[in-house]
A = this chain, B = another copy of it.
Amino acid sequence: MSFMNASELVMLSNLLDSRQPHHGLARQFYHDESLYQVEMEAIWRQGWLFAGHSCQIPNPGNYFLYDMEGDSIIIIRGDDGQVTALYNVCRHRGMVICQQQEGSVRRFVCPYHQWTYDHSGRLLLQNGMQESLDKSQLSLHPAKVREVEGMIFISLAKEPVEFDPVEAAFAPVAKPQGFSRAKVAKIMDYDIESNWKLVWENNRECYHCNVNHPQYIKANFDHYNADDTIPRVAERLKAVTSRLEAKLAAQGMALRAETGMTEFPDPEHGMWYAANRTPNEQGYVSETMDGKQVAPLMGDYTDPEVGTLRIRSLPNFWIHASCDHSVAVRLTPNGLSHTHIRMIWLVDGKAVEGRDYDLNTLLTFWQLTAEQDWKICSSQQRGVNSHAYTPGPLSSFKEYNLERFLRWYIQEMKAYLGK
């Protein structure tokens, strides 16, 4: 933490302690450059980050880059089919090796002096150098990587927290979706003027949905109060839930107990990741404008009524998957008040655009809903920048997950400072 001196660390520690429960964060959390640098170390360089989908790199030699706060990581499928993550930095003079955002390579050849590495990062050739050099000490620096049911996660930490429990939670729920046999229908990239936490705060409540997401609320129950739903809604929810349970059972799947308005995260129990199925509103088999299926069934599904598969992991990932398509959201901080957001739409690997699905029809629902949120987050950033901004109270009915997110955030920051 060379970017903070002792008195700054005390100030940061006091700031973390001063957070008032059930209220937002103070202005400094969105405004202080050195606090942001601590976040990068405490959270973003410690945790597991969703990088992309396995189906983006189906064959040996296929790679894509994930650029994270000044670092460029190569995610490549090796000859043995395993995925490897390598820093995109030559061990000779620090040159960026892969200049394209994605592609396919037999070997990595640095464009500066042609040092050549294999798919695992091992240095093969360094023509022009003295013989005495020990090539084994000059492999590309690796990052940690895990592939689970078609989702690739990396960690920049030397010793990240264990990933096995995440895999255990994600794999059985995600498996029927068939992510690994899917194909990319569309990738959209956004750079929004908002601190990354505001994007999560927005994601962790549907209090704002009624007015801001006219499309989304037709398909979902999230905007109703957690523990105070009116009888008519409770009945409707009960009906779709029973129906979904039956449908899933017929396809060999189970609806897990916590289905519905999932509480997430659960920092006191170390739950920074979760996967579940959520019932849609009556008449909606897919998160689309009219609720109708817009592409062929994915994965193992034999019936479109599978609800929505939702997976999330902090600090950078969530996905909504319907029977026929999925939409992943990947966040990456890009400075104190900017966040890069990538959205990835997948469909079944055999689906053909124009024949099996119309791209616009596929995109509209989530493109609209997401862009409504990106606009909110950008406006909110300008508001919390104000000297007059003070943290307000959170709704106990509708913002309990936001409160959980903030608890998780404070807990992670304190844990790091305590080290």
Whether a CB of chain B sits under 8 angstroms from the CB of A113 is: yes
The copy count of this chain in the complex is 3
Also in contact, A114 and B211, with CB within 8 A (given A96-B383, A397-B128): yes
Q: Encode contact with B along A140-158: 1 for CB under 8 Å, 0 otherwise.
A: 0100000000000000100
Whether a CB of chain B sits under 8 angstroms from the CB of A384 is: yes
Q: Give the residue among A208, A396, A397 with the most B Cβ atoms within 10 A.
A: A208
Whether a CB of chain B sits under 8 angstroms from the CB of A112 is: yes
A301 CA to B113 CA, complexed, in Å: 37
Contact: B128 with A89, CB < 8 Å? Answer: no
Within the complex, the shortest CB–CB distance from A313 to chain B, in Å, comes to 22
Interface residues on A, range: 35 or more
> Which residues of B sit under 8 angstroms from A129, Cβ to Cβ?
393, 395, 397
A393 CA to B384 CA, complexed, in Å: 44
Nearest B residue to A391 via CB reads: B94
A45 CA to B387 CA, complexed, in Å: 10
Q: Encode contact with B along A364-383: 1 for CB under 8 Å, 0 otherwise.
A: 00000000000010011011
A398 CA to B382 CA, complexed, in Å: 43
Also in contact, A212 and B128, with CB within 8 A (given A96-B380, A392-B91): no
Nearest B residue to A28 via CB reads: B2
Also in contact, A385 and B70, with CB within 8 A (given A128-B207, A212-B111, A397-B128): yes
Among B70, B91, B99, B397, point to the contact of A390 (Cβ < 8 A). Answer: B91
* 30 contacting pairs across A/B (C-beta < 8 A): A24-B93, A24-B94, A70-B385, A71-B386, A71-B388, A72-B386, A89-B386, A90-B383, A91-B390, A91-B392, A92-B392, A92-B393, A93-B383, A93-B392, A94-B380, A94-B383, A95-B376, A95-B379, A96-B380, A99-B379, A111-B211, A112-B376, A112-B379, A112-B380, A128-B225, A128-B397, A129-B395, A130-B396, A133-B393, A138-B392
New A-B pairs, 9, CB < 8 Å, besides A112-B208, A114-B210: A71-B386, A71-B388, A90-B383, A91-B390, A94-B384, A94-B391, A94-B392, A112-B380, A128-B207
